[in-house]
């Protein structure tokens, strides 16, 4: 029996890549917060933002120093982009959970069940292919932007319910 070829979406939206992107988000968050890891809920908006081309383009065009509020201002210029973040977050829950599981099982991340925080460990994951460099850079920006705000502030800016 022959396996069907994977779609372009399946090649990009897989738990291994998701684990790498979530790890990068967490590392940047921890650097911004001086080591404090991000709350688990924060990770559920990362992949929906990075895997949506129009949203990724807004992340790319926003300076790191501008922050999450400037990014959401750009998203709100096309209101449906901002409104759809919540829906995409819900649709991608399973992928995010699988990616978190892959990150934990590979040693990239550690979940504290007491605090509900997900720590990005010191690691040297394989370098992603050149075609994914914008996703990794986007994860880095998002981690820094989230690290500058409370989770409630970040979710309010993105119109996302925890």
Asked if residue 2 has pLDDT above 80, the reply is no
Question: DSSP labels for 43-105?
Answer: GGGHHHHHTSHHHHHHHHTS-GGGHHHHHHHHHHTTHHHHHHHHHHHHHTHHHHHHHHHHHHH
- Tens digit of pLDDT for each residue in 81-101? 999 999 999 999 999 999 999
- Report the Cα 85 to chain-centroid distance in Å: 12
Domain boundaries, the chain: 14-158
Q: In angstroms, rounded to a whole number, what is the distance separating the alpha carbons of residues 2 and 10?
A: 17
Q: For the chain, what is the largest distance between any 2 Cα atoms, rounded to a whole number of angstroms?
A: 52
- Tens digit of pLDDT for each residue in 30-39? 999 998 999 9
């Amino acid at each position: 029996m022959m396996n069907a070829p994977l779609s372009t979406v399946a090649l990009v939206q897989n738990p291994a890549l998701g684990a790498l992107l979530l790890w990068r988000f967490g590392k940047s968050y921890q650097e911004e917060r001086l080591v404090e890891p991000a709350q688990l809920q924060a990770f559920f908006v990362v992949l929906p933002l990075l895997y949506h081309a129009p949203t990724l383009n807004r992340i790319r065009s926003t300076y790191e120093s501008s922050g999450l509020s400037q990014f959401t201002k750009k998203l709100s210029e096309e209101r449906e982009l901002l409104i759809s973040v919540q829906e995409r977050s819900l649709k991608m829950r399973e992928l995010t959970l699988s990616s978190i599981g892959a990150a934990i099982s590979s040693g990239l991340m550690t979940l504290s069940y007491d605090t509900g925080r997900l720590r990005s460990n010191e690691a040297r994951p394989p370098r992603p292919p050149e075609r994914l460099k914008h996703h990794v850079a986007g994860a880095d920006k998002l981690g820094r932007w989230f690290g500058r705000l409370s989770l409630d502030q970040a979710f309010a800016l993105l119109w996302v319910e925890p």
